[in-house]
A and B are shown apart, each in its own frame.
Chain A
Amino acid sequence: MSELTAVGKPIQRVDAEEKITGQAVYGYDLVLPDMLYGKTLFSPKAHARIKRINTEKAKAYPGVVAVVTAEDAPWTHGETVKDKPFLAQGKVRCIGEPVAAVAAEDEDTAEAAVKLIEVEYEDLPVYTDPEEACKPGCVEIHEDFGKYRKADFIVKGAAPNVAEHFKLRTGDVDIGFKQSDVIVEERYFVPIIQHAAMEPHSAHAQFDKESGRLTIWVANDAPFRALHEITEALGMPKEKIRFINPLQGGGFGSKGGLKVEPIAVALAFHTNGRPVRVKFNREETFISTLTRHEAVVYSKTGVKKDGTLMARAMTIYWGAGAYAEKSPTVCIRGSLPAPGPYRIPHVKVDGYAVYTNKPVAGSYRGYGIPQGAWAGEQQMDEIAKRLGMDPIAIRMKNMFVEGDISYWGEQLHAVGLKETLVKATEAIDWGKPTKTAKPGVKIGKGFACIQKPTRSPTTSAAGVLVNAKGEVTVLAGTVEIGQGCNTILSQVAAEELKVPLERVHMHQLDTDVIPFDASTTSSRSTYHMGNAVRRASIHAREQIMEAAGPMLEAKVQDLGYADGKVFLKDQPQQALPIGEVVRRKLGIHGKVRGDGSYTYEIGKDLDLETGHSDHASAFYMYATQAAEVEVDEESGRVRVLRMSAAHDVGKAINPLNCVAQIEGGVVMGIGSALHEELVIDNTGKVRNPSFLDYHLVTSLDTPELIPIVVECPEPEGPYGAKGLGEPGLAPTPAAIGNAVTDAVGVRVYDLPLKPENVYWAIRKKKKDAA
């Protein structure tokens, strides 16, 4: 391969300039001409039947243009289970569920009018604990589950409120435990947290009666999924619906699926063609968008005296909240690798996605891996302790290496795990004595390893245009959420067309003109869209070379390509810049278009009885993070002193961007480890829906960060690249948990590691000892 010119270089972000000057326009910023202002009425009840809705007063309020309820929008949607109404139909299933909405001439009017809508409710039993909600005798939150349209792989559990039951069966765990010398069994808990992207949620919609076209402006991370869901729900042809993506101020999984969009759409049908904006404020974003799944994880592990893992059994209750959203797939993709990146002959996993009357849980950076790792990786340390083994040694003995067959039946390749473990632990001076702490304060070290699959099979398609000036435009459906995809994809196009990066620009995301892409999720973009853009660029280059042949009076095989020029191999000074080729061929307004598409063909789908697949994921990401922490024994307060994070990225297309993703991920992970928790009481009410009460990590609470990029090339990936966005926070809480135990000798099983949880664990140990 010729030398890389753009890929692998630490290039500054291509979208930074508009962001630092305030020119970047985000979804939340958009003001459309003649726009109406929408406001939503949310349910104050966690589970209730709607007996009556009266909108008369709101409709009569001066300045109100439209008031809508389920009567005006009798549609439902959902990714794999079509269970979610545009606006509550007949009942509400969580506090914060949209019930009605108003569009008015200004924000104040909309706000005043929405308060005039009267709703009468009849209470139903409220379930706020996923483990409780699936006990026999519980009322079904979705009594019509059987009638919903849904994907064929959904396995409804036998117990009440179970939307999905995932099973993994390998070997026979009973035999495995019998053959084990030591067995450890425990319950772990991970609470609900929220993405808290700095840009809250909003959507704009406009329906033009004459053309019958519906346009939606929204910072959605999967516009083609949104397009499909809206099309499917409304029964409108795809060509009639258009999604335009303004910039997105963070997402972390929260901005996929439909949340504000259905409300804006419902209103847009009643505004005589005027566009309507619906914004959720921060509190509404907290209660009515998405959360990360709370999870109760029961984990039992059996091991031989020499540290060989024999069996692992896990039962995981994933709290889905009021609607299924991505819960079935989080349950599947989070439960499957939950036993960890290890060779284990006997494995049994049961994952249950359980409806509750809490805000809807959806995809969240890490997609179920942090929850499994919180249990599995702490249990690995427990086992090591019981065996008197070093935590590194026990993992080294069992961890996946190149060519291993995983417990779900897939042969693994490009496994960079060992290197991440070695580098992450070295970076915090593992095995060397820690600094001496102040009296009453203990210092400890810990680490955790993860393996993460990506959503498979999926498709990304791309177009690449080259104009007569030699400028390149990339048409890609990957959403710039902040992760840096515009930079990465520009680098790929610049690489294949050998043009400077300044000549490449990304087209705005508009489903009318941009080729299909499955989603900007699951750390799939660099790999899938990277491949698609690479292919599209090569396709464009080939056409240019083809066209240049006659111009240079040569056969294509006698032409070379470099530096944005086509040249004669034996007379390199005889060269034509690509823009010149396009101009001569198609005129000054002409453009050559290359197209490319990439689909990762998986093998067999996951078997519904065993969870096995010979190819469950296009690639796997591996990481180890290691923490050094300080624990104040008096208060239970944990402070992370330094944290290393070694991530196998396959190949770093942009090392700067890799570091940025790792740092951001780790700090988000530290928040989830130490203090983040969406507190919901037993009436289903969120008690802390503000940044005052929901504590994000601030500039004051970040430790020394040591990001480490490991490159174990993925043969199918573009230039060997895999993905990186999600794993950044996945091992973090478990690593910190292990460090806390190392420091104070007690284990805390429930996240977050807030002072009271740690304090009580220390107290209990002291009491037991006394």
Chain B
Amino acid sequence: MKMNIQFSLNGKSISRDVPTHRLLLDLLRDEIGVTGTKEGCGTGDCGACTVFLNGKPVNSCLVLSGELDGAEIVTIEGLKIGPELHPIQKTFLQDGGAQCGYCTPGMLMMSKALLDENPNPSEEEIRFALAGNLCRCTGYAKIVQAVQDAAALLRNR
């Protein structure tokens, strides 16, 4: 069944006729063509597809389009603050938080969610917050470092 939904994506309003069972992840990637959000599993187990839905991080592979009417969605493409990289993007660059980069958009969104809530997380809190975001390349050390450094940047602003 198709339905018309209107929502905001990275601040732009979008109106679409979509099958209600279409996953937000597929809607973004295949239909709207915004592919920064990644698919790693499609079953809610890897975090690669993390986006903000009404201000909260969600696995977009678990969200149906039918739920999106009136929603506000922010993806990795909307993480920059104006033309500037978000501090977490800066520290991922500088610390080497990305290797293949496939988990990176999800990691960044989840890290931002953590920092929004907790501006001064301990290493353990960071590791806990990112436990649902799998990375096969980095061994996580540089990612955790990047989150710590971003927290410091944000605090010193």
Contacts of B30 in A (CB 8 A): 31, 107
One of B34, B45, B130, B138 near A660 (C-beta < 8 A): B138
Is the Cβ of A699 less than 8 Å from the Cβ of B36?
no
Tell which of A196-204, A293-301, A500-508 binds the partner.
A196-204
One of B36, B42, B137 near A664 (C-beta < 8 A): B137
Is the Cβ of B136 less than 8 Å from the Cβ of A698?
no
Q: Which B90-119 residues have C-beta < 8 A from chain A?
A: 92-94, 96-105, 108
Asked if B11 CB lies within 8 Å of chain A CBs, one says no
Q: Nearest-CB distance from B135 to chain A (Å)? A: 7
- The chain B residue with its CB closest to the CB of A248 is B100
Is the Cβ of B76 less than 8 Å from the Cβ of A660?
no
Task: Indicate the member of A249, A668, A700 with the most B CB atoms within 10 Å.
Answer: A249
One of B34, B35, B41, B135 near A690 (C-beta < 8 A): B41
Asked if B139 CB lies within 8 Å of chain A CBs, one says yes
- The chain A residue with its CB closest to the CB of B26 is A107
Q: Which A1-55 residues have C-beta < 8 A from chain B?
A: 12-13, 15-26, 28-29, 31
Is the Cβ of A199 less than 8 Å from the Cβ of B100?
yes
Is the Cβ of A22 less than 8 Å from the Cβ of B99?
no
- The chain A residue with its CB closest to the CB of B124 is A700
One of B33, B38, B128 near A249 (C-beta < 8 A): B38
Is the Cβ of A20 less than 8 Å from the Cβ of B108?
yes
Instruction: Tell me what chain B mostly uses at the interface: helix, strand, loop, or mixed.
Output: loop
Is the Cβ of B45 less than 8 Å from the Cβ of A668?
no
- The chain B residue with its CB closest to the CB of A702 is B140
Is the Cβ of A250 less than 8 Å from the Cβ of B89?
no
Q: Nearest-CB distance from B64 to chain A (Å)? A: 14
Asked if A484 CB lies within 8 Å of chain B CBs, one says yes
- The chain A residue with its CB closest to the CB of B135 is A198
- The chain B residue with its CB closest to the CB of A483 is B99
Is the Cβ of A282 less than 8 Å from the Cβ of B138?
no
Asked if B29 CB lies within 8 Å of chain A CBs, one says yes
Complex CA–CA separation, A665 to B136 (angstroms): 9
Is the Cβ of A23 less than 8 Å from the Cβ of B36?
yes
Asked if B24 CB lies within 8 Å of chain A CBs, one says no
Complex CA–CA separation, A199 to B101 (angstroms): 10
Asked if A287 CB lies within 8 Å of chain B CBs, one says no
Asked if A497 CB lies within 8 Å of chain B CBs, one says no
- Given contacts A660-B96, A698-B134, A702-B139, whether A21 and B33 have CB atoms under 8 Å apart is no
Asked if B68 CB lies within 8 Å of chain A CBs, one says no
Asked if B73 CB lies within 8 Å of chain A CBs, one says no
Asked if A656 CB lies within 8 Å of chain B CBs, one says yes
Is the Cβ of B80 less than 8 Å from the Cβ of A21?
yes
Complex CA–CA separation, A281 to B49 (angstroms): 14
Complex CA–CA separation, A656 to B142 (angstroms): 11
Asked if A268 CB lies within 8 Å of chain B CBs, one says no
Q: Nearest-CB distance from B146 to chain A (Å)? A: 10
Asked if B131 CB lies within 8 Å of chain A CBs, one says yes
- Given contacts A16-B101, A29-B29, A481-B100, whether A699 and B40 have CB atoms under 8 Å apart is no
Is the Cβ of A250 less than 8 Å from the Cβ of B133?
no
Q: State which size class the interface on A falls in.
A: 35 or more
Is the Cβ of B101 less than 8 Å from the Cβ of A482?
yes
- The chain B residue with its CB closest to the CB of A277 is B30
Complex CA–CA separation, A108 to B89 (angstroms): 36
Is the Cβ of A664 less than 8 Å from the Cβ of B99?
yes
Complex CA–CA separation, A482 to B139 (angstroms): 13
Is the Cβ of B131 less than 8 Å from the Cβ of A197?
no
Complex CA–CA separation, A250 to B37 (angstroms): 16
- Given contacts A13-B96, A29-B29, A699-B140, whether A22 and B37 have CB atoms under 8 Å apart is yes
Asked if B66 CB lies within 8 Å of chain A CBs, one says no
- The chain B residue with its CB closest to the CB of A282 is B41
Q: Which A642-697 residues have C-beta < 8 A from chain B?
A: 656-657, 660, 663-668, 690-692, 696-697
Task: Indicate the member of B29, B79, B131, B134 with the most A CB atoms within 10 Å.
Answer: B134
- The chain A residue with its CB closest to the CB of B46 is A691
Complex CA–CA separation, A15 to B30 (angstroms): 24
Task: Indicate the member of B38, B40, B85, B101 with the most A CB atoms within 10 Å.
Answer: B101
- Given contacts A196-B136, A660-B96, whether A702 and B141 have CB atoms under 8 Å apart is yes
Is the Cβ of B93 less than 8 Å from the Cβ of A656?
no
- The chain B residue with its CB closest to the CB of A252 is B136
Contacts of A249 in B (CB 8 A): 38, 100-102
Complex CA–CA separation, A20 to B131 (angstroms): 19
Q: Which B132-157 residues have C-beta < 8 A from chain A?
A: 132-144
- The chain B residue with its CB closest to the CB of A202 is B39
Q: Nearest-CB distance from B3 to chain A (Å)? A: 15
Asked if B13 CB lies within 8 Å of chain A CBs, one says no
Is the Cβ of A21 less than 8 Å from the Cβ of B100?
no
Interface positions of A (Cβ within 8 A of B): 12-13, 15-26, 28-29, 31, 107-108, 195-200, 247-252, 281-282, 481-484, 656-657, 660, 663-668, 690-692, 696-700, 702, 705
A-B contact pairs, 15 of them (CB 8 A): A21-B89, A22-B36, A22-B77, A282-B41, A482-B101, A483-B99, A660-B96, A660-B138, A664-B99, A664-B137, A667-B140, A699-B128, A699-B131, A700-B127, A700-B128
Apart from A15-B101, A482-B137, 5 more pairs, CB < 8 Å: A19-B98, A21-B80, A481-B100, A691-B41, A705-B141
Interface positions of B (Cβ within 8 A of A): 19, 26, 29-30, 33-43, 45-46, 48, 75-77, 79-80, 85, 89, 92-94, 96-105, 108, 126-128, 130-144
Those 8 A-B pairs whose CB atoms lie nearest each other, nearest first: A22-B36, A482-B100, A249-B102, A19-B101, A667-B139, A22-B76, A691-B45, A29-B35
